[in-house]
Amino acid sequence: MPWPGTGWRSRGRLSGPELTVPDGGAYRAGDQVIILAPDHQAALVTSQRGTVEAVDSTNGSLQVGLDDGRKATLAGGQLGSDRLGYGYATTVHRSQGATIDRVTSWLTAAAGSSPTSP
């Protein structure tokens, strides 16, 4: 399965060098990311979203512009798949409490239920 940013790359929305992290993720400037676990020292909270602004492949770090306007440099353990993920799509559970401008939803009816059933 291609990584989530494949369509973004073909549309020219990703640029610059790519940083491949030990868990297999590959990030470039323009990638949408989400914080998966809190980091108290860096003041990052779970489900916080951002955009990779720059990749430093020499130091193995990402400069991320967070949706709240702050900047964060992520490196080392902060780049593990248990700490950082692609933010192109998310679940309703993860997005609770978020203020967003646009939503695309894919709804299906589970067996034995319908949108009008209680």
Q: Detail the DSSP E strand segments found in the chain.
A: 15-20, 26-29, 32-35, 49-56, 61-66, 71-75, 84-86
Question: Residue 15: inside a domain, yes or no?
Answer: yes
Position of tokens 């003041």? 43
pLDDT band at 1 (very low <50, low <70, confident <90, very high): very low
Long-range contacts formed by 57-60: CB under 8 A, 24+ apart: 57/17, 57/18, 57/19, 60/19, 60/21
Question: Residue 13: inside a domain, yes or no?
Answer: yes
Q: What is the pLDDT of residues 22-76, one digit of tens each?
A: 887 899 999 999 999 999 989 999 989 999 999 999 999 999 999 999 999 999 9
Number of domains in the chain: 1
User: Which CATH number covers residue 14?
Assistant: 2.30.30.940
